[in-house]
Structure 1
């Protein structure tokens, strides 16, 4: 079966459910080993999913942000690491389509390769700069030599590093001190992956270090200069909270299944009808409903807005990420309280969900930055 052969969203969503169940069956082993989910990524490539955000003018489906997020949630119900990994690729292609800022011939080539299974992600974070959203200038440098650019540096948190075909690398231009993005095919000489990823959360993302030693790319692969444009609201980043929402849904599902089956000799039947158990289930459902409405309405607003309207959506996008991520953490905590000490067993998926949702606090935008943005937004209404 292939997404490209299914005409309706409901058909595609049912297919994604099947894939998600496969991912769930593999998730424990990937987590325990700290390995990379090669099979999951290959399934997504073979299914045609990784090309769904390719623009229609290049033969893609150009799916909406709303639809993309629902697919991402379902992937995360099976395996959060797989969802976050592939979400960067899906979102970057959508973002480049919407911005239309790259040379058309370059982007067309990327899209053609993506339709044939290629994967792309950004490499922006560095050891000394931290998250690029904090404004640090890259210590990765680039200089011009004839018709080529020579790039040197190290990037951290390069998610999906084991399988990426293209890296979008931010670097400081030595002569001008400007910052630009450079497209680097994996086939170029001087590219090394150091397997440094040792996080206790989302262990399967393969977010290793990318080391660049005199990597040479042609002038045309200097794809954009970064400045104010790079700070515009980015709807595609909602794939991040979508991942954590999916993990939280998986936690709720497990907790309810447990409550339906667990029958200690101190109660008649199972614990599902105990008031304290139903209280926790109701609280989980409330938080998930709240998150779903917030995230999905933000995505629909993005889909329905023009460039001007999207430019005003920064506070909404940040608030959606903050709300959904923190609610996801709370939902997993409630699920673990319901299940009890069994939730701490390495064999129990709840302990994996607990570790994985915590990673959302460290994905952009950070909560403190979002709160400051919201404060500024509120105060401006009185100007």
Structure 2
């Protein structure tokens, strides 16, 4: 199905055209990177060279100041070309977008880091830990920050550090005892005591190299103590997190396109014409496009509501619901695509088996399905009680 309905601006069309010029390049190493659990460095380097990674910087800081809706459209497109590239660069885009929209840091720090981004810096938050589980559930970090002299000394270990091979900066959460809160520290990659422990061994998003980040008494300057939170960050509305469902929507689109191409080209000698004329195949294709349509319209509707300041104030659980709907629809779309293609979809050389594995990773990106459903119920109950 066409995305023309969702292209609203010349900037969107310009960047879609730029990205699609590299469709072949982005796709060509996907299978090998998956097989070797190797990060798509060439793809990410190309995005940096193109200026893609500075799009979410506001215009006053030298960027393009794109909106969440723009990001969703572009991230979906990248993920349809290569899922790992889409998920990885999405974290950078989302972090930068949130930082500058919400002005989470001091003005001078935002200004200096913007220059780093303009020069090619890549950043991601490092928050997950083995003992705390998902940070959105409110666990206190085991990573600690202690003030010694004029610097903070940080020790701990983070897992699921997506894009670890190419990150230039890590935005690390740590418990700050003397502040009785969770602090975030901007730590450059070349900091003494910082290392990457290669622990990534999963069946989904294998090439993301989401290894462990190890911090062994890393000294951080006071100016890099950039945020302090006394409550869960997940309670704050952040539309930039929609890069997550955008990624899985892109994977679903790829699975659908493969299945459709297979249907119109596959012509066994048991029938006249291609299998696309068979009622059961058309039923699968129709269900696939219905799921895709439902997911895309909901995601873009929520993104557009977030970009509208007046409508944003009415958002409650729509961001989480968008992630829930899109990721689960994406799983359904890939499953239906594999049913259509049949046993060939299980061959290691077939991209559908990779989409099948990668798309399930969405279930484990925040927010989790059970939390979304629970919050929907709690909000409904609260509204009823307040009437």
* Residue 17 of structure 1 pairs with residue 2 of structure 2: no
Equivalent residues, number: 376
Map Cα deviations across residues 242-279 of structure 1 (whole Å, 9 max, x no partner). Answer: 00000000000000111111111111111111111111
Verify the 8 A CA contact 2:327 2:362 in the aligned structure 1. yes
Q: CA deviation at 1:381?
A: 2.4
Q: What corresponds to 2:196 in structure 1?
A: 193
Q: What corresponds to 1:232 in structure 2?
A: 236
Q: Distance in 1 between matches of 2:82 and 2:213?
A: 24
Q: What corresponds to 2:272 in structure 1?
A: 268
Map Cα deviations across residues 64-109 of structure 1 (whole Å, 9 max, x no partner). Answer: 1101111000111111111010000001111011111201111111
* RMSD between aligned residues: 1.3
Mean Cα displacement is larger for which, 57-66 or 174-183?
A: 174-183
Structure 1: runs of 5 or more not aligned: 1-5
Verify the 8 A CA contact 2:12 2:74 in the aligned structure 1. no
- Secondary structure in structure 2 of the residue aligned to 1:8: helix
Map Cα deviations across residues 319-339 of structure 1 (whole Å, 9 max, x no partner). Answer: 111000000000000000000
Structure 2: runs of 5 or more not aligned: 1-8
Q: CA deviation at 1:175?
A: 3.0
Verify the 8 A CA contact 1:72 1:87 in the aligned structure 2. yes
Structural mapping, 1:1-383, within 5 Å: 8-228=11-231, 230=233, 231-306=235-310, 310=312, 312-382=314-384, 383=386
Provide the TM-score with structure 2 as the length reference: 0.95
- Secondary structure in structure 2 of the residue aligned to 1:381: helix
Q: CA deviation at 1:158?
A: 0.5
Q: Distance in 1 between matches of 2:331 and 2:324?
A: 11
Provide the TM-score with structure 1 as the length reference: 0.96
Map Cα deviations across residues 213-264 of structure 1 (whole Å, 9 max, x no partner). Answer: 1100111111111134722011111100000000000000000111111111
Q: Distance in 1 between matches of 2:71 and 2:264?
A: 32
Q: Distance in 1 between matches of 2:283 and 2:180?
A: 57
Verify the 8 A CA contact 1:140 1:154 in the aligned structure 2. yes
Q: CA deviation at 1:311?
A: 5.4
Q: Distance in 2 between matches of 1:297 and 1:352?
A: 29
Verify the 8 A CA contact 2:73 2:246 in the aligned structure 1. yes
Q: Distance in 2 between matches of 1:31 and 1:229?
A: 34
Q: CA deviation at 1:9?
A: 2.1
